[in-house]
Amino acid sequence: MKKYLIVVAGGKGVRMGGSVPKQFLSVKGKPVLMRTLEAFYSWDKGMELIVVLPEEQQSCWKHLCAEHGFHVPHKVVSGGETRFHSVKNGLELIPGEEGMVGVHDGVRPFVSAEVIAECYRQAESREAVVPVIDVVETVRRLLPDGGSETVPRSDYRLVQTPQVFAVKLLKQAYAQDYVPQFTDDASVVEALGHPVYLVPGNRENIKLTTPFDLKMAEALIKD
pLDDT reported for residue 100: 98
10: helix, strand or coil? coil
The pLDDT of 58-83, averaged and rounded, is: 96
Q: Is the pLDDT of residue 15 over 60?
A: no
Structure confidence by residue, pLDDT tens digits, 28-54: 999 999 999 999 999 999 999 999 999
pLDDT in tens, 119-152: 999 999 999 999 999 999 999 999 999 999 999 9
pLDDT digits (tens, 9 = 90+) for 48-61: 999 999 999 999 99
Contact 119, 164 (CB under 8 A): yes
The reported pLDDT for the residue numbered 222 is 76
For residue 144, say if its preceding peptide bond is cis, omega within 30 degrees of 0: no
3-class SS shares of the chain: helix, strand, coil, % to 5? 35, 25, 40
Q: List pLDDT tens digits, range 166-200.
A: 999 999 999 999 999 999 999 999 999 999 999 99
> Does 14 have pLDDT greater than 60?
no
